Structures are given as structure tokens and as C-alpha cells.
Structure 1
């Protein structure tokens, strides 16, 4: 979901949501940015890597573990190229 919330208001909004754990990759103005929020009473999340267009986490829940990568696909060609290069390097 694209929130279109400016960086200056992100922490205020996250506090209202009420989830205790979070990681943010800041966008540029109203463009980009990723929020990864979780309830640490339900899942154990470890931040493995972050990039200005992606966050990679390890998630543990009910004795199962998996990796989750959240990606923002920028409409700007130069940013998309950087994202593809990042994803290729990490695969």
C-alpha cells in the first residue's frame, strides 16, 4: 500500500497504529519509502538488510522461519535500475 505520507509524519502515524516494532526506509518527499511493522508478541523479526527501495527480514513464527523482502518499485528509470542491480546482487 502506498501511504503518501511525508517523512516528517511517519513516526506520528506509526505510533497511532500501535505496533511496537518497526523499520522504515525513508522515501524522497511523497515518493518511495517502505514501512515494515510487526507485533513482537506474535512474530520474531530480524532486519537482515535494507536499501532505499527494499527491506529484507527474517521472520520466525510457530517454529517456522522464512525470509521476506518488501520492495518499492520506483517509477523513475534510474531508481528502478538501482533496484534491479541490488536484487541481482542479493540473489
Structure 2
């Protein structure tokens, strides 16, 4: 099992899907975590449908940036969401017939008042 974490620091444009496809082709991650996705409104689902993963958990923020996406393919790994808040995702991961693992991904808000809640 391999996990790739990518802090994407730009607005999601038309090249995002191509970049993700190249990364996945080259590194074959079992799970891809993307942080700091700058997406307006509720376009997360629409964009995730373009990507080469069939399952996803996303944590929405109140603002324009700082979202977290956890993506995977259900034929290689089983992921169960435990908690997803504006700044974190916690999930249980099971690979084939092996033990379960806990995965936590955090993208702390740059504003102190919100970050303090972590």
C-alpha cells in the first residue's frame, strides 16, 4: 500500500486532472490525499469524478481554500470514514485480508481562532 499526499497550492484548473493522472501513472498510490484545494462552492464532487479514483471523502471548509480530499479505488483498499471536519479527516483503512489501519490527514486553518479548535 502506498499513500501520496499532495499540497496543491493553486486553483483547480483544466490541467489538474492531467497532472493527477500523470502522478497516479508514475507512482501508483493506493490512496491520494490532496490538501489546500481551492474550489468555489460545491464543485468537489464534480472534480473528483474526473479523477482516476472511484471513492472519496472530502472535508469542506467555510471558505474558498483549505479543503482536504482523501481518494482511493475500492477494488484495492477499503476505507471507512470515522470523522471529517473542516480541518481533518480520520478514517479506517483495510488492505485485502490484512489488519486495519487508522489514517489521519490534517490541514490546519491559517486563522488562529479556527486552528485552535484542532
> Using the alignment, how far apart are the partners of 2:57 and 2:87 within structure 1?
13
> Using the alignment, how far apart are the partners of 1:3 and 1:25 within structure 2?
10
Match of 2:65? 31
Supply the RMSD in Å over aligned alpha carbons: 1.4
Instruction: Tell me the CA shift for residue 31 of structure 1.
Output: 2.4
In the comparison of the two structures, how many residue pairs are matched? Answer: 83
Match of 1:44? 78
Aligned ranges for residues 10-25 of structure 1 at < 5 Å?
10-25=44-59
Q: Hey, which of these two has a bigger chunk of helix by percent?
A: 1
TM-score (norm 1): 0.80
Aligned ranges for residues 35-74 of structure 1 at < 5 Å?
35-62=69-96, 63-74=98-109
Query: Which runs of at least 4 in structure 1 moved beyond 4 Å after TM superposition?
Result: none
What stretches of structure 1 of length at least 5 have no aligned partner?
Answer: 84-91
> Using the alignment, how far apart are the partners of 2:93 and 2:116 within structure 1?
28
TM-score (norm 2): 0.63
